[in-house]
Structure 1
Amino acid sequence: MPLHAITEVYGEAGLRERFLLEVNAFPPDEQAQLADALELAGKLHAEDRRVREPYMNHLLRVAIRIIKYYGIRDVDVLTAALLHDAVEDHPAELGLLATGTHQELTESAIGELARRFNPKVAELVRSVTNPEYDPDRDRHEQYREHVEASLDRDPWARVIKVSDFTDNGVGVIHTTAEKAYSSATKYRPLVPKLRELVGRPDTPLSLAAKDHILDQLDLAEERFAAILDD
């Protein structure tokens, strides 16, 4: 059953069950790490929502997609997938700082991920964490510049970002009309760059996974066009 269909029918509980089924064969220590990441994500995002659903649904779909459709079983990549928005959305809570500059809060949060998990997890999350934007420049343009630069240098971060992008892009039909329009505007210009990054030899995905992702990017672009060009 497609992940958004699981969401519609069974909600967060169904996604959690599906995630646990996917990692059931992992070694006990890896299952423990993922359980820790899932618990931390649940605490940080407990009050967060994505328009019509709990934010945890998005994080679970991103992680499940990486296992099920990309064939990736690297526990650190999956840990980072579950926590990919933690630093961006909750740096103070994660880094245990009451106050500080954006940079101080970010570095403290990333340091906490390195302490609690390991430096690889922390750096993967750093790569997919948006920087503080210049208020005098277009936010979408800055977002695309950051994504292109960070994914250019970090092949494993591409795996997380394309799953995140698929959830937002292909899943654009599972939200309100207003949110769909803003998401299409933000994400559509990034599709050609993601195609190029996915196709690179150093992107750590099988040919089958790359083909699947490219098909999903085509579908996302079709949906963006239907929203923006109609």
Structure 2
Amino acid sequence: MTTYPSCKFMECLQYAALKHRTQRRKDPQETPYVNHVINVSTILSVEACVTDEAVLMAALLHDVVEDTDATFSDVEQLFGPDVCGLVREVTDDKSLEKQERKRLQIVNGPKTSSRAKLIKLADKLDNLRDLLVNTPKGWTEERREQYFVWAKQVVDNLRGTNANLELKLDEIFRQRGLL
């Protein structure tokens, strides 16, 4: 049986595309940022076999409050409290220093719901796949390596969430000599 995305999912995809429309990744090709959130949702659906539409929608929106003018109120009004709650769980507090935000991802990861952990794992997987083949503009090799080390700490605190994602992440960590 073929399944199709719901109208709400497609509205969510369109909203993410609209909000991230002017943003670019830091890779040499300056990939449109929206590709990242689409990748995260696709990783969850295809590789982690997630069928929970709220999780897939929250994956599309996981950076929308953090990186655009969207608010939690906007997300809740448009996509409901369940999706908004997941987005809230995976959103960093941009009022904090970058190092503190990174530390909190390590510390708070285990305290989040299993659904939020799925989004975090897929987010790290997409970022690390990109980082394996691209050094972001303005990054040194040392900074790139530090990201892998930090991401492993985050992932280690999310283990037991999804074996498929964790195996794929471990392949990357093994390639980088972190396992």
* Distance in 1, Cα, partners of 2:177 & 2:140: 11
- Conserved? CA contact 1:195–1:217, under 8 Å: no
% of aligned pairs identical?
A: 26
Residue 67 (structure 1) aligned to one of 45, 48, 66: 45
| SS across alignment from 1:143 | helix
- Conserved? CA contact 1:63–1:82, under 8 Å: yes
- Conserved? CA contact 2:65–2:91, under 8 Å: yes
1:85 Cα offset (Å): 0.6
Which residue of the partner structure matches residue 146 of structure 1?
A: 105
Report how many residues are paired.
Answer: 172
Structure 1 gap segments, 5+ residues each: 1-23, 95-108
1:145 Cα offset (Å): 1.7
1:78 Cα offset (Å): 0.6
Q: Answer with 123-132 or 181-190: which moved more.
A: 181-190
- Please give the root-mean-square deviation of Cα atoms over the aligned residues, in Å: 2.4
Deviations 1:8-56 (A, max 9, x none): xxxxxxxxxxxxxxxx604xxx520111011101111111111221111
1:109-148 mapped onto 2 (5 Å cutoff)? 109-135=71-97, 139-148=98-107
Letter in 2 for 1:194: V
* Distance in 1, Cα, partners of 2:55 & 2:140: 28
Structure 2 gap segments, 5+ residues each: none
Residues 133/188 of structure 1: CA separation in 2 closer, same or farther (3 Å cut)? farther
Which residue of the partner structure matches residue 186 of structure 1?
A: 147
* TM-score computed with the length of structure 2 as normaliser: 0.83
Residue 43 (structure 1) aligned to one of 1, 11, 18: 18
1:183 Cα offset (Å): 4.1
In terms of Rg, which structure is larger?
A: 1
Residues 132/32 of structure 1: CA separation in 2 closer, same or farther (3 Å cut)? same
Which residue of the partner structure matches residue 9 of structure 2?
A: 34
- Conserved? CA contact 2:20–2:34, under 8 Å: yes
Q: Answer with 45-54 or 126-135: which moved more.
A: 126-135
* Distance in 1, Cα, partners of 2:104 & 2:67: 20
Larger helix fraction of residues: 1
Larger RCO (alpha carbons 8 Å, 6+ apart): 2
